[in-house]
Structure 1
Amino acid sequence: MAPPSPRGMPCGPRLAAVLLLAAAAALGFGVRAGAAQLCAEYYDRTCPGVHRVVRRVLKKAHEADARIYASLTRLHFHDCFVQGCDASILLDNSSSIVSEKFATPNNNSARGYPVVDAVKAALEEACPGVVSCADILAIAAKISVELVTTAPPVAPSSEQGNPKDRERSREDSTVVVINDRKVNLLESESGSLYALCRSWVRNGVPHESQPSFGNGEPILPRPLPASVVDSRISDKENNGAADLDSDEEPQKNADGEYNTSDLLKQHVKRAKKIRAGLQKERLRRIERYKQRLALLL
């Protein structure tokens, strides 16, 4: 069970002193002991109306911002992608931490924080000091997905579904060690396919968590044809572009679908070749510039 937060305290703590006290409390009780007390039916007993309260706040927020459902879902994903769903993305910078909220992939990009604070305030009135901020993000994302789909929402009753699929009581993170967290999800702001694939593997995302297409199988889209890629690179100045035509076609399985692993390798291989070709072009331009500069001197 997550340690209770002070009544009325927003999900994004503003005071360093509060963070230090919360961290000390967590260390005092022991993380392992707290994790052992997690249970799927926790809020059925301690805050039965949690889903109803969150749903009401989200619907009201959606009236003013049509993008809020997608924003909250994305916020939960960004929180979980960096070492687990611990609500650390809600922490502000302080004298002792550099929060992932203001990291390059999130700063001026991730949104929905005021709505999360509104949900926290509503839950503090209904169930003071019970629902953790990590669970608020998870429940808000779940309900957001339900509200934007055409299918009827699934009742949050503890008697339905697999207990492993229901929400658990998650612990909030109160400390961020910037050197231990892979905050820079992409190697560059361009967000190339190659950088995204490396980030995906580097953060240890399992095979089952890859995006699903069609019938739910984790199948990546086919790479762009070589002709489309070659059109962006000069045929006269890039000798490596011709190598793209020699890529082997990924093998199909018995169902006629392309293997996910083979497609991913194909994407990465093609991205490497394109990057190598662009690097050669850059070096050629630098060399031509040096030659022209030598003539002027």
Structure 2
Amino acid sequence: MTLFWIYCAVLLLVALPFVVLPLWRSAGRNDAGNGEVQRDAANLEILRDQSAELEADLHNGLLTQDAYEQGKRELQARLLEEVKTSGQSAAKPRNPAKALAVVLAVALPLFSVPLYLALGNTNALLPQEDMGMDGGFGLLRSEAQLQKLEKKLEQQPENPDGWFMLARSYSELERYADAARAYGRLVKLVPDEAQLWASYADAYAMSQNRSLRGEPTKLIEKALELDGNNTLALALAGSAAMERGDYAPAIAHWTKLINLLPPDSKELPMFRNAVQKASEFLDKHKSGKLKP
């Protein structure tokens, strides 16, 4: 969906000159020194910049949808007030074409998205497959972007979207301690999502040399308590059991996982092999050939 909005922004930037420039040029040059027009243009330019900043913050996960919509409503009200004020100050001659050009330059980007959301089919923007919580959230790659988001979250610590993006970005960059810290903040805000607890456990384990002992095991148990069919939690639970030498629980977790995976899953051979290895260890343990 983010790509769709980028396309929309590009199309608006391309289309605006064809709409605005003819109106602007038709005004002629006789009002080039009109101070009020320049003042209005500056005010409207500020509104347009603020609108663009709102869009960017929403797409980067720095604003919730409610906060974004509230900001849009405030900007729209200010734009309408600006247009009203401009229309009332008629003491000096104005060129209506130039005023209209300025208003259109701001109004088209500002009102087009809310109008589409009201009248268009937003479901058509969604991918057909279930993307889970990953859908619609990008990843930050640069240190500057990460630090900017960190500072935003210091000011807005109750923003779960921001913490989710931060956690995923750090995980992708293999900064697992930072990812675990972000997931720790996130699960306090969204405590009922099993996938988040499982991802928290995964990042925590990676931050301590891939060991699932201790805190990661507790996080896995929390995830399975919320959703006993969560595939990531089941995979981790099997690995944690193997790490402890508890082969029967490992087999149980992985067998359940295998039954949940689709028949064409590329992960099926790996987990079937894991179950086979765990069964071999269990048989050796029962026969006394393998010490606990």
| Length-normalised TM-score, structure 1 | 0.30
**Larger Cα-atom Rg:** 2
Q: Which has the larger helix fraction?
A: 2
| Length-normalised TM-score, structure 2 | 0.30
Q: Looking at both structures, which has the greater relative contact order when contacts are Cα pairs under 8 Å and sequence separation is at least 6? A: 1
